[in-house]
Amino acid sequence: MKTKLMVGSFLAAALLVVPLLAHHSFSAEFDGTKPIQLKGPVTKIDWTNPHVYFYIDVKGSDGKVENWGCETAGPGGLLRRGWTRNSLKVGDEVTVNGYRAKDGSHLADARHITLPDGRRIFGGTPGDGGPDDPSAKKPGA
């Protein structure tokens, strides 16, 4: 009986820890000294926790199209800022101002997204320590 209880407790604890491993601070994955602006049509949207990702096709200076992943806050954070599941649709032309991934991959932290209707929405996670965080304390405040 004790063995079953211990195994059950271990599995329950493991299930609680797994989602926490996917969440990270800005500086764990992105470089605040490498701003980037991306423009292109949305190709895919993953509206899931702990971060919403959307993907856009960006035409490089050589004319080649590269698919970039854009990480935002989680669904709850985006909903509180006025996003809905329909704010972005596949095919929408968007502009993303953010920061490149440290590993040089085609991944960006999408801090500010200009939607097709012209609205500009903060996509970062408040309090993640990244640049342009509206919840960050201002010097002297």
Q: Please report, for the chain, the start and end positions of each structural domain, with discontinuous segments joined by +.
A: 33-122
What is the C-alpha separation between 108 and 99, in angstroms, rounded?
5
Alpha helices in 63-138 (DSSP H): 75-80
Query: Who wins on pLDDT, 11 or 75?
Result: 75
Cis omega before residue 134 (within 30°)?
no
CATH number of 33-122: 2.40.50.140
Alpha helices in 81-131 (DSSP H): none
Query: Who wins on pLDDT, 26 or 24?
Result: 26
Is pTM beyond 0.85 here? no
Beta carbons of 67 and 46 less than 8 angstroms apart: no
Which of helix, strand or coil describes residue 23? coil
Beta carbons of 67 and 9 less than 8 angstroms apart: no
